[in-house]
Structure formats: C-alpha cells, structure tokens
Amino acid sequence: MTFMTDSLSIQLPDQSARKNALDIRQSFIVQAPAGSGKTELLTLRYLKLLATASQPEEVLAITFTKKAASEMRDRIASILSWCQNFLDGDTTQISDIEALKLGIGKSVLERDRREEWHLLESPSRLRVQTIDSLSFYLAKQLPTLSQIGGSPTVTEDIEVCCREAINATLAQLESGTELAYHIEVVLTHLDNDLVSIGNQLLGMLGQRDQWSNYVIDLTINKTGTSQFLKLGLIELIEETLLSVTKLLNESEDELIELANFAAANLNNEKDKLSIASFFPLESLPESNIEALPVWLFLLSFLLKKQRADDLGPPDWLRQANKNHGFPASSNGDKEGQSICKEYKTKRTDLISILKEKPGALQELAFIRLLPTSEEDSDQWDFLNSLCNVLRALNAELLLAFTRHRVVDHIQISAAARMALGTEDEPTDLALALDNNINHILVDEFQDTSQLQLSLLKKLTAGWQTDDWRTLFLVGDAMQSCYSFRNANVGIFLDVQKRGLEHIKLETLVLQSNFRSQQPLIDWVNGTFADAFPAKADVSRGAVPYNRAEVIHKKSDGKGVEVDLIEYESDQRQQALFQESEQLADKVLKLQEQFPGDSIAILVRTRTQLKTVIPSLRARALSWRANDIDRLTELPVIEDLLSLVKVILSPGDHFSWLCLLRAPWCGLTSADLLELNHHSRESNIWSSTKEYRSITGLSLHAKQVLPQFIIAMQFAIASRYKRSLRQSVEATWGLLRGINCCRDDNEINCVQRFFTLLSEEEKAGGLGDIFAFEEKVSSTFIPSPETMSQACGLQLLTMHKSKGLEFDHVLLPGLSQTARHDDKDLLVWHERLNAAGNPRLFLAAVTPAGSDESNLYTFIRHEQKVRQKLESTRLLYIAITRAKKSATLFASIIKEKDGGFRKPPEGSLLSLIWPQLCSQGALCSQSSNSSTHVFQERMEKRHSTTGPTMITRLRPILEFTESEQQAIQDLIAKFENNHQTADDRVFEWSNDLNARTKADRVASKTGTLIHKVFETYINSNDKSNYLAQLKTIKSYWRLGLRSLQLSSDEMDRTLSQMEETVYRTLSSPTLAWIFDNQSSESACELKITQRQKGHLKQFIIDRTFIDQSNTRWIIDFKTSVRPIGESESDFISAQTEKHRSQLEIYRDLMMASENRPIRLALLLTEIPALVEIKPN
C-alpha cells in the first residue's frame, strides 16, 4: 500500500506526522490504521537511514512474517532500481512522493557507489528479517548458553515432545522427591484425571512464554508462590481503586454525602455491619484491599447489579430504593419524604455528571470483579505445587527437544534472550550487536509478545540518549488479533504511553486512508467509533478508535451493506442455507457488474465455509483458497490411510472394508456383508482370499477380487522388507490409485501424503498410527496452481486476510457464535500493571460441588473481555480489507412484534448491533424464499430411498500373465525373507503411474500453451513475442514442477512445447486468428448458463467477429497425433471428439445474438484451423 496519489501535490491531513516519521534523528512509535500506507513509510525511512549508515547491516528492519519481510526487501530493491533508471530523467512531471523517493534513493545509490556496497547485486545485505529468523540467528551464535544445541529444526509441531515431557514429569510421582510431593498435590486437586491433566499441561506448554519466567524465578529463588500471586492481586486492587479515586475527585463531596446518607438508612443489618467501621466517611475510601467493601457499597447505589459471567455493557442504576439506602421516607413524615427525595435527586445528578466522563461506567463496574486475596489455603498450596511441576515440565521439554533435534518459535525466542545475557551482565554477542546495530525498525508492533519485547529491550539495552541511534515502531493497535499466538496489544499501548525503557518515543498518528472509497470509510468511522472502547486500557488491551480520513473521493461502490435473513427459531438451518445462496448470488452479481475486480469471502472460522461452498459450486464458481480444506477431506487420502493401516495391521477389520469399497474394487454393501459374514471365524482378509467359496458375491466382486488379492498379497509380503512408503506407494500403483485422483491438485495431495509418510516412518512402520492420522488430518489441501493468480474470488479466514486488500469483501455467518467456552481445569492471565510490568495470575477450578473461587471467576471474565475486544478488532480488520464495498450477511430471529431479536452474545454481529440499529439501514429477507431449493438439497443429502453411490474404476483392474508372475515371484522372495534387490514390481507400479502421467503432462502443457496464446493475442508487440520464448520456458518449467518429471522428461517436454508454440504462432495462415483488433475479440471467455436449477460456467478459448459479421468460435487443441495415424484420421477423430462441446458454445452465443456462427478447432499438431461443419 503506497500513499501516492494521482495528484502532483496534495496536502494530507497527517502530512506533518509523515514528515516527522522521516526524521532519522528521532525515535517514534507510529499508529498506522488500515490503508494508511505504513509499508511505504517504513521503506522510505529505511532507505533514508541507509543513506547515512557506515554499513547496510547497521539498519535492522524486523517483521513478523516471511511474506512481509520479502515484500519489504523487494520494495526497497524496486525503489533503488527505479531511481537507478531515473537518474537522468525529467523530474518536472512526477508527484511529490515520487520526488521524495527519488531524492532519498539517489542518496542511497551515491553512498552505495562510494562505499562499494553493491546493494542491487547483493540485496542480502539489506537486513530485513522476521522476528523468528533474528531470534534463531542469535540463539545459534551461542548454542550452549541458549540451550538449543547445534542446528535444530524449527517447527510448530511439537506435540510428541510435549507428550514425552509430560509423561516423564508425571513419572516422578513415585520418586520420593520433593517434586513427587508437588505432583501428588496437583493430581489430587484435579481429581487424578490423568487425561484431562495431560491435555491441560499440553495447552500450557504451548503458551509457556506467558508463565515460564515467573515459574523459574519463583522456584529457583524459593520465593513463596502464594505470596507472589497474592501481591499481584493486591497490586491490581490498589491500582484499580487509585484510578477510580482520581476519576471521582471532582465529585468527592457529593459522593461522600450520598454514601453517609445511604449507610445510615440501610434496612439490611448484615450490610450495615459489614461497613459500620468505615462510617461516617469524611473522604473517599482508601485505595487498598481493606477498603474494598466500602467501594462495593458505593457501587450498590450507583450501578445496576450484573453477573460476573455477563459480558454485556454495565449500566447505571436508574432508581434507588430502601435496599440501596434510599427509602421513600426516613421517618414517615413529610419532612422525611422531602429529605429522601432530595437525596435521590442528588444521586441522579451525580450519575449525570459521571456519565460525561469517558469510560467512567466501565471503570466503576470493574471494581465488582476484583478478587480478594483471601482464597482457600488449598488453592494457594495447589498453585505453589503447580509452579514446581511446571518448572520440571519445562526442563523435560528441553530434553525432549534435544532428543528430537527440534525447537519451536517460543523456545527460539527464549534462547535468543538467553544468548544476549542480562542488562547487568550482557554477553559478548550482546556487546557485538550493540556496536553493529544503530537503527531498528519494527513492523506490526501491535502483535508483539512479552518474549519478543524482552528481546527488543536487550537489543537496545546499551543505547544512550545522545548517540543518535533510533528505534522506529509501526503498528495499528486496532488491528491486533493474534492473542492466540501470545500477542499482547497492551504492550503497544504501554510503549506508546511511556516509551521503551530509557528510549523516549514520540507518538505519531496517521489518519489518511488510501485504500477504501468514501462511502465505506464513512460507514466504518460511524460504526466502529462507538463499537471500540472509549478509553485505552493497557491491562485489558482496550484500544480506542482512530478515525480515518478519506483520500480517494471517487466512488463506484456502495460502501457497506448489511443483508439479514430473518427466520423463526426452528428454521435456523434453512436460514443459513438462504444466507449462503444470497452470498453466492452476490458474487455473481459483482462479477457481472465489476468484471476483473477481486472478491474475498472472509469467515471467522473455516467451518463456516461448509455452508458457503456448496452454493458456490452450484453456480459453477471458481475460487482460490489456502489452508481451508484438510487432506482427509479427500476420498483418495482416506483410501490411502486405510491402505497404510491394513499393511501395518492386517487384522484391522474396518480398514479392509474401506479398501474393498474404494474405487479399485467398488464392492456393494451386499458384497461387504457377505465377506463380513464369512470372516466371523477368521478375518476379513482370509475370507476375501476365499471369495470363490462365497456363493452370495456379485459377478463384479468375483471379477475384481483376484487382482485385488494379488496386489494386497504383495503389500503384506513387502512390509518391513522395504520402506513403508515404498510398500504403500507400490501397492497404490498396482491398484491404479492414480486413476482415483480427479485432478492434478489431488495428485499433489497424494504426493504430500507420501512425504508425510516418509517423515513419520520408523523402522518400516509408524511409531503411532493415530498420531500420523492426526498429522495428515491437520495438513491442508494446497490451492490449485491454475487458480493461483487468475481467479478473482478468494476464500480466507479473517485472520489470514490481514494485510491484504480486495475490491469487494463478503462476510457471511456474522450471527454465528464461536465454540462453547468450557471451564478449563487451569486458567491464567497476564496483565500489565500501571508501571508497564507484566504480572501473572493463576487459578484452578474448584472441586465439583464447591463454589467457584473469586480469582478463577475474575480470570475467566478478563479472558472473555479480552476476547470480545479482540473480536471487535477482527471484524474491523475484515471490513477494512475492502476498497469499494463490503457486504455483511447474518441470519437473525424475527420477533412477533416485527423487530429483530438481538444477535447472540459472542457473535461478531452483536459487537456492532447497537450501531446498526441506530443507523436504521438493516434490510432483511425471509428464509421462506428459499424453502423449495433448501428442501430439495436436504432430501438429496439425507435420502435413503436409493442405493449409496459407489465409485468404480473403468476398466476393472486386470494384470497380464507376465505382470502376475513378476508380482508372485517377488512375493515368494519376500516370504522367504530374502532381501531382494529385484525392483521389477516397484518399477512396474511406477510405469502404471507413468501411463497416466502422460495424460497429466498433456493436460498441464495444454493449459500453459493456452495461456501463451491468450497473452499473445492481447499483446500489442507481436513481432518480438517469439523472441521471448526462452523467458517463457522458465515460466513453463515452474508450471511443470508439480508433475515431478525427470530432468530428461522436463527438457523433452519443454522442447515440444516450444516447437508447438513457435510452429503455430509463426504460421502466416493462422495470424488472423490471433489478431486482437477484431470486433468483440475475446480469449478464455466465460459464459454462465442455468441448467436444472444450477448455474454452469463454460469457457471459450477464442472468439471474435470477422469483417463479414460472422462470429468465430475456436477451440485450441494441443493433442498429439498418435504414431501411425494419418493426418486425415487425426483430424476426423478430433472433430468428432469435440464437436458437441463447440455446438454447446454455439447455442450459448445464439441465445444472446443473431448473426452467423462458424465453429473451428485450431490443431497445433499440424498446425491448421479445422472448421466443423453442421451435421
């Protein structure tokens, strides 16, 4: 995102802040909202710092993702290259920002030339790194001190290591040591539920950066854990009450008068007794834990009561009565009534004054949530023991990492911090870095964790106020959404407020939005200004809204629309269906109205796409989606898993049935029942081998089972004689598994499966088949290569969309709630205190039948509040991805009075519902409008009247006699325990794959050649196009990588493609076909038609209207003529094969226009244009 504009000169509302940001003598923290051009600003500052640096490595830019680092590095190099080419250009017609870039870039290039850096030739000298790569670099410099050893692999898949650490720790229960005592306390408190305890500890290890420092310090220094945690609670209470005292200072007299009156008139003796020692008040209560009961009493006549688990906004108490100390009369006479009325009026007046103070209501309500430190002694004993167990667990995890030679990013961050030493005792590495790094820039600072902040502090620990070294932090607190990765937006707010240790940071705020059009920005400003909290809260991570200012006044979008599906309480599924139908129709409408525009469907969770995708498929829409579908959602992967299970465990009854049902056999349910019946005295494999004696089997079963048995005998005989991958892959080849794949993408998924199998294999088997199955299940299906760039529709989660932009954004399922939040056995919460120091709170769920502890309730409430605040930010992120329009979809219950029921708490819609209602811009549609289509789809899904569809390969599996003999010979050698080197069957199964590989190569090369033809037609410089074929071949090579061709196969294929393209495009008789000046010239023209209630999309390779007003419809065909076939026979075969498809295209065109139409095939093999005459 740049902040360039079409105008040569424009005064931005934040021009001063942008100018200051390029002052490289000062350190800044920049608040840069969505679309504000922060990357451009970072890049320019980085370049300006380079122009004054002694060495490029003195300037360090830190990002949080590899993609961001790569983009920033490319942008820096791009600006330098542009400046290099522009050195002698005319600068009179360039914009102000281009002139600024040119000036900075020239300075860098001059220094580059003078110092002989050669940055354009050696861009690796540009020090732009992710925080993880920097941490890994630091940790590797001192592997012993940092405790990571040599060069471990960095991974997030550490469950095996965690489980080993948990088991090793709990195994110390019988050791008779002090640790054994602590383990016993923990187990007893948690009802000795080892499964739940193991899962809870697993979760804690994934977030150990939040507690490990506290635990290690407490247990090493022998500080009382309970005392430490109690002090944290006391600090929280005192800070909260001190803040409220400041809030109420101006109204102190009025509040004291009301409090004394209410205390004197309480009608509940128990309440009177609890506060008697504090009254009458002469000033506001002390800001300490002892005075907490008085503060709670003050709240009783100011605020409405609210349950601790109620996340709804607090409210002022509208009317006070005798229960609050405000009776109708104090003594029954008129004078008493007058006095009581006067005090009620004073109470109302005080509330009116407090209402004018931003955040006052929330701050007062927070007092009610404060826990006392008087927790059950068993609770404190448990927490003390837990800290000791966690310390041992952390140590065991390090040992497991060493054994497996892996680490995760949390350990890398901790190791980097250890490698730098302490502030008082820095290591030699820290001192060396202090001399080599003079400027640090950090992107996305709002997503910093405590460990990463600690690393940053250590990197800057030696900086002095007068040494001209600078720190530049950029981020948007309104876009912090990664708490599940331990990001703490409170860090950004705190550094913004007080700086970083001894480094003074000036706060700059950007407001210009270069991304979105005015209607969208106006809606976002009007909605989120009130949806975000009014006041910043470092501890909770509450971020106030920062208004955006429109830069692009032009508008061809509608801004934001909210489409609601109204339904009755028993029609929820139908409403969700209607919502997805409406969304899919919206996609079609946008594609028709704005061809070429990018469209994104963003969801909170991947599961929400399960209702969306069927509606997209019903309309023949194509889309791109990464990290959405799991490998195990593909039938071919499920079949492979069954094959692995059978090879490892031939007694696995269910997996055998799955294999027999798979397409290579395709047995019916009746056949499976017959085999199952005959396996009662043995097993399913034995009964399968005895199929000839089972009279009830179908003819199809008796045809396919002999070949299946041969393949599976090979599979079982080869296990442990070859690697597991070899056995599975060869067997899969024998069964013609490749033919079960529907497209290249599924073939890529199969290759990914085999790679996972190789990674997890141990001694010819798998250590844990369930762990392997889980790993396969957690692996995502890659997006098809053919859709990588060309597809204008993308499906993403809201989190994945961060940093991206689209012309139109669609947000379905906004009334759906997140998963149910069960009570965890353990909860913890890290907050920043008033001084910006982190504090940890720990609590355990109480035993069944006991009241929940105040501390546990408080932590859970704070977690929910944080989540609600982050969910608001996530919705803001999703909507601000849009440049032209955003459409919000939700299903909501219609009340009998005609109004809408409030969206459920926890849904994204509930976060902005008050604002939407006040805007009065809600439009709705009844779910009844889709009843017929919905019922049809449900009937198809749940119908049991017809047989289950069975997929079968055609023709059926058959081996020749020589093939059977080769397999049987190898089986015999395996069974005789010969370590044979005979690879005939392995090679032959690969040949089976190769037979279908030819088809895959033909399909892929055809797609690439089609793309070349499309580019050539649209090119205005056709004379030089063929000269660029060498460059184009590099692109082809990348496109063919997924086919896993050998070097010779790759070279041969590329040569054939080059020859085909050159032969076709250089033909003078075909040149007119590629002329883009023809009327209505189009390539890859998409036409959509409704068929049987569904939309189907067709793509015409080439069409145009010639000078005689005749439309030509041409299909490009790259088929190769079989050896021995004459040219005339080849043309006849191709004509008959593709005639019906071209006639469909003709009928589609005739439905919308009235002119002559001619059909033809462009056969690149000849090459020639072959017209298809009507029959």
In a domain, 255, yes or no: yes
Decide the pairing of beta strands 1168-1172 and 1157-1163.
Answer: antiparallel
Cα 81 from Cα 105, distance rounded (Å): 9
Mean pLDDT of 803-821: 87
Cα 665 from Cα 737, distance rounded (Å): 11
Same domain, 700 and 743: yes
**The predicted structure's pLDDT at residue 535:** 86
pLDDT at 580 over 80: yes
pLDDT at 763 over 90: no
**The predicted structure's pLDDT at residue 854:** 81
**The predicted structure's pLDDT at residue 944:** 40
In a domain, 665, yes or no: yes
CA 207 to chain centre: 18
Question: What confidence category does residue 772 fall into, taking pLDDT thresholds of 50, 70 and 90?
Answer: confident
pLDDT at 941 over 50: no
How far are the Cα atoms of 19, 101, 204, 987, 1012 from residue 1049, in angstroms, in the given order?
57, 47, 51, 17, 21
pLDDT at 517 over 80: yes
Mean pLDDT of 390-405: 90
**The predicted structure's pLDDT at residue 147:** 58
Q: Which pLDDT tens digit goes with each residue over 665-688?
A: 989 889 899 888 887 767 888 888
Give the max Cα distance, the chain: 119
Q: Which pLDDT tens digit goes with each residue over 521-535?
A: 999 999 999 999 988
CB-count exposure of residue 552 (10 Å: 0-12, 13-18, 19+) = middle
Same domain, 638 and 771: yes
HSE-CB at 1095 with a 13 A cutoff on CA atoms is: 18
Which of 117-126, 270-279, 389-398 is predicted with the least confidence, judged by mean pLDDT? 270-279
Cis peptide bond upstream of 280, omega within 30: yes
The pair of three-digit structure tokens given for residue 204, joined into one six-digit string: 């804690």
Cis peptide bond upstream of 1122, omega within 30: no
Q: Are 586 and 594 in contact (CB under 8 A)?
A: no
CA 72 to chain centre: 21
Mean pLDDT of 1018-1027: 74
pLDDT at 257 over 90: yes
Strands (E), 1011-1146: 1079-1091, 1094-1105, 1111-1117
For residue 1023, give the DSSP letter.
G
Same domain, 273 and 357: yes
Cα 1049 from Cα 607, distance rounded (Å): 41
Nearest CA-CA partner of 371 in 51, 880, 838, 827: 827
In a domain, 293, yes or no: yes
Question: What confidence category does residue 987 fall into, taking pLDDT thresholds of 50, 70 and 90?
Answer: very low
User: Rounded to the nearest 5 degrees, what angle is found at the Cα of 162, between the Cα atoms of 480 and 405?
Assistant: 95
Q: Which pLDDT tens digit goes with each residue over 1099-1110?
A: 899 999 988 889
Q: Which residue has the higher pLDDT, 91 or 484?
A: 484
**The predicted structure's pLDDT at residue 928:** 55
- pLDDT cut 90: percent of the chain above it: 29
Q: What is the CATH number of the domain that holds 884?
A: 3.40.50.300
- 359-381 CB burial, b ≥16 within 10 A, e <16: bbbbbbbbbbebbbbebeeebbe
Average pLDDT, the chain: 83
How far are the Cα atoms of 324, 1050, 1138 from residue 1034, in angstroms, in the given order?
81, 11, 31
Same domain, 1135 and 1154: yes
Same domain, 325 and 310: yes
The pair of three-digit structure tokens given for residue 948, joined into one six-digit string: 């289950």
pLDDT at 141 over 60: yes
Q: Which long-range contacts (CB under 8 A, 24 or more apart) does 168-171 make?
A: 168/396, 168/399, 168/400, 169/201, 169/389, 169/392, 169/393, 169/396, 170/194, 170/197, 170/198
Which of 1065, 1088, 1110 is the endpoint of a domain?
1065
Cα 322 from Cα 659, distance rounded (Å): 76
pLDDT at 169 over 70: yes
**The predicted structure's pLDDT at residue 955:** 67
Mean pLDDT of 44-50: 95
pLDDT at 1048 over 80: yes
- 160-171 CB burial, b ≥16 within 10 A, e <16: bbbbbbbebbbe
pLDDT at 984 over 60: no
Same domain, 675 and 766: yes
Phi then psi dihedrals of residue 1082, to 5 deg? -150, 145
Number of domains into which the chain is organized: 6
Strand partners, 832: 838
Cα dihedral across residues 94, 98, 103, 106: positive or negative: negative
Same domain, 692 and 733: yes
Q: Are 411 and 446 in contact (CB under 8 A)?
A: no
**The predicted structure's pLDDT at residue 322:** 87
CB-count exposure of residue 976 (10 Å: 0-12, 13-18, 19+) = exposed
**The predicted structure's pLDDT at residue 992:** 42
Which of 323-332, 554-563, 817-826, 1063-1072 is predicted with the least confidence, judged by mean pLDDT? 817-826
Question: What confidence category does residue 995 fall into, taking pLDDT thresholds of 50, 70 and 90?
Answer: very low
Nearest CA-CA partner of 1144 in 1107, 1106, 1091: 1091
**The predicted structure's pLDDT at residue 889:** 94
Cα 645 from Cα 732, distance rounded (Å): 13
Given the structure tokens 């449900």, which residue do they identify?
A: 938
Q: Which pLDDT tens digit goes with each residue over 1102-1135?
A: 999 988 889 999 999 999 888 888 888 899 999 9
**The predicted structure's pLDDT at residue 824:** 72
Q: Which pLDDT tens digit goes with each residue over 342-353?
A: 999 999 999 999
Q: Which residue has the higher pLDDT, 1091 or 608?
A: 608
**The predicted structure's pLDDT at residue 337:** 84
pLDDT at 553 over 70: yes
Question: What confidence category does residue 637 fall into, taking pLDDT thresholds of 50, 70 and 90?
Answer: very high
The pair of three-digit structure tokens given for residue 921, joined into one six-digit string: 């811009």
Q: Which residue has the higher pLDDT, 256 or 222?
A: 256
Same domain, 292 and 336: yes
Q: Are 992 and 733 in contact (CB under 8 A)?
A: yes
**The predicted structure's pLDDT at residue 820:** 60
Same domain, 966 and 1017: no
Cα 189 from Cα 185, distance rounded (Å): 6
Cα 413 from Cα 452, distance rounded (Å): 7
Q: Which pLDDT tens digit goes with each residue over 876-896?
A: 999 999 999 999 999 988 877
**The predicted structure's pLDDT at residue 111:** 92
pLDDT at 10 over 80: no
The torsion angle over the Cα atoms of residues 864, 866, 870 and 871, rounded to 10 degrees, is 20
Which of 132-136, 309-313, 998-1002 is predicted with the least confidence, judged by mean pLDDT? 309-313
Q: Are 1162 and 1070 in contact (CB under 8 A)?
A: yes
Q: What is the CATH number of the domain that holds 1143?
A: 3.90.320.10
- pLDDT cut 70: percent of the chain above it: 86
Mean pLDDT of 1085-1094: 62
Q: Which residue has the higher pLDDT, 460 or 852?
A: 460
Instruction: Provide the angle, in degrees to the nearest 10, between the axes of the packed helices 854-879 and 908-919.
Output: 60
Cis peptide bond upstream of 1167, omega within 30: yes
Strand partners, 734: none
**The predicted structure's pLDDT at residue 382:** 80
The pair of three-digit structure tokens given for residue 1019, joined into one six-digit string: 């090119």
Same domain, 653 and 771: yes
Same domain, 1103 and 1168: yes
Question: What confidence category does residue 1092 fall into, taking pLDDT thresholds of 50, 70 and 90?
Answer: very low
**The predicted structure's pLDDT at residue 484:** 81
- 1058-1077 CB burial, b ≥16 within 10 A, e <16: bebbeebbebeebeebbeee
**The predicted structure's pLDDT at residue 920:** 67
Mean pLDDT of 84-107: 78
**The predicted structure's pLDDT at residue 376:** 59
Cα 199 from Cα 215, distance rounded (Å): 20
In a domain, 809, yes or no: yes
Mean pLDDT of 25-48: 93
Given the structure tokens 């250890």, which residue do they identify?
A: 418
In a domain, 576, yes or no: yes
Mean pLDDT of 845-865: 79
pLDDT at 818 over 80: no
Mean pLDDT of 595-621: 89
The pair of three-digit structure tokens given for residue 1030, joined into one six-digit string: 């060498």
Domain that holds residue 471: 15-129+435-510
Q: Which pLDDT tens digit goes with each residue over 1127-1167?
A: 888 999 999 989 988 998 998 888 888 899 999 999 999 89
CB-count exposure of residue 1 (10 Å: 0-12, 13-18, 19+) = middle
pLDDT at 7 over 50: no
In a domain, 862, yes or no: no
**SS3 of 1112, please?**
strand
In a domain, 406, yes or no: no
In a domain, 419, yes or no: no
Same domain, 38 and 101: yes
CB-count exposure of residue 275 (10 Å: 0-12, 13-18, 19+) = buried
Q: Which pLDDT tens digit goes with each residue over 686-730?
A: 888 888 888 889 998 898 899 899 889 888 888 877 788 888 988
